[in-house]
Every structure is written in C-alpha cells, then in structure tokens.
Amino acid sequence: MNGNRQLVNLVGLLLVVAILVAGVALVALPMYAQSRTIDANTVAVEQTNAIYEAQITQLAAADEEIDAVDADLATLRTAIPANTSLDDVFEIIAAASTRADVTISTIKVVDPEQWAPRAGVDTDPEAAAAAEAAPDADAATDPATDDGSAEGTGGSATDEAATDGTATEEQVGPQPQQQLTVTIEVEVADAEAAMTFVDALGRGKRLIAPIDATLDDGTLTVTVLTFIRTED
C-alpha cells in the first residue's frame, strides 16, 4: 500500500510540474516576448516623435524668417531680370563712368544668346597639363603621325567647339536664362581710372560680369556679360 501511495504522489507531483512548465511555456513566455516588443515599439515611437518635434521646430523657425528670405530672393531676382530692358545696364555704366571720372565713347550690345556654362571648370590642372603634354610627346617621337594630325585638325568646327572650354547646347540642355554681350569703350586718364571703372561696373543692382578689358593709348575697351531670365 505504501508503494502505491508513493507512486500516486510521484505521478501527482509530475503532473503539477508538467502543468507549471506548460503554463510558463504557453502563457508566461509569450507575454514576456510581447512586453519586450511593446517596449521596443514604444522607444521607436518616442524617437520618431523627437525627430518630428525637431523638424517642427526648424519649420517654425524658417516660417519666422520667410519674409526676410522673400526679400533676399526679390533682391537676387533684380540681378537677373526677366525682361530685355537695358535701362538699368546703361545706368550702371553711367554711374561707373562718373565714379571713375572717365568719358564714354561707345556702347555696343549684341543680340541675346543662350547662356552656356564653361566646361571643364572642375578639371584637375595637373591632369589637364598631363593630358595636353601626352599628345605633344607622341607627336615628337612618331613623325608619321604629323601628316595625319595635320589632316585631322584641318578645321572641324565641331571639334573646336568641343575643346574651346564652352559646353554646347546638346551637352547642357535648354537653359533658363540668356546672356547679352556688351562692349564699352571709354576714354581714361590712366590705368587706375580704368580699374576703378571696371570695378564700379559690378556695384550695381543688376549682375554685370566683365570678361575682357583692354587699355590702349588712353582708350579702355571692356566686354561684359549681363543676363536675362527666360523662366520665372
């Protein structure tokens, strides 16, 4: 009888242990895993909210400065106007002549043309020099290439356009602005007056970019570019 009672107690104990293990495996562990997932989601939501709050703060600060930004934009737009009037260009030239105490002889304006950026601005100078030196070295060591090179460089306008440093329309695509070339001749007393005049051309509200200046026997010839917006 004692043996049967002990067996019953042992079986009962095993059943209790099995029930406890099953309860832990089926209830406690899933609940623990779910709580960890909820904690991780809570942290992620808090981080996302912090990012949104920072963005809202930045947008609020930017909104407070929108009037100043609009004013700056309006000022910049006057530098490249959307009309073809050159009255402001002539005013700047006249003001520059007064500032430098020089006499304007002639002002010539070329018809507008599409603006094209200069190509190869970011080229490494050392790499460019090496590239230019390489063909010269080859030509010097191989006389047979001289005749062919003379024929090959006999005057293709396309090749010249591709190597003169100016990007073609096919390379850059349609541009939202045009450029006007203006050539100004003034009579100056000395080189200092010439420098003052060229410097004063860049002090107006409209963008004027000098690209060439030549002083010859008291006559200063300045070539400048000004620009027109074709898209607003």
pLDDT of 20 above 90: no
Buried b or exposed e, range 186-210, using 16+ CB within 10 angstroms: bebeeeebbebbbebbeebebebeb
C-beta of residue 91 within 8 angstroms of C-beta of residue 107: no
Provide the percentage of residues in the chain whose pLDDT is more than 90: 28
Residue 103 vs residue 173, higher pLDDT: 103
Q: How far apart are CA 229 and CA 232, in angstroms?
A: 7
Residue 218 vs residue 112, higher pLDDT: 218
Q: How far apart are CA 162 and CA 171, in angstroms?
A: 10
pLDDT at position 72 is 78
User: For residue 39, what pLDDT band results from cuts at 50, 70 and 90?
Assistant: confident
- Name the residue type at position 74: A
pLDDT of 84 above 60: yes
pLDDT of 200 above 70: yes
pLDDT at position 196 is 93
pLDDT at position 157 is 40
pLDDT tens digit sequence for 126-166: 555 554 554 444 444 444 444 444 344 444 444 444 444 44
Mean pLDDT is lowest, of 29-43, 65-79, 85-99, 108-122, for: 108-122
pLDDT tens digit sequence for 89-102: 899 999 999 999 99
How far from each other are the two terminal CA atoms of the chain, in whole angstroms? 105
pLDDT tens digit sequence for 203-225: 888 888 898 999 998 999 999 98
pLDDT tens digit sequence for 67-78: 888 887 777 777
Residue 23 vs residue 53, higher pLDDT: 53
pLDDT at position 123 is 46
Q: Is 165 exposed, middle or buried (0-12, 13-18, 19+ CB in 10 A)?
A: exposed
Structural domains in the chain?
Answer: 71-116+174-232 (3.30.70.60)
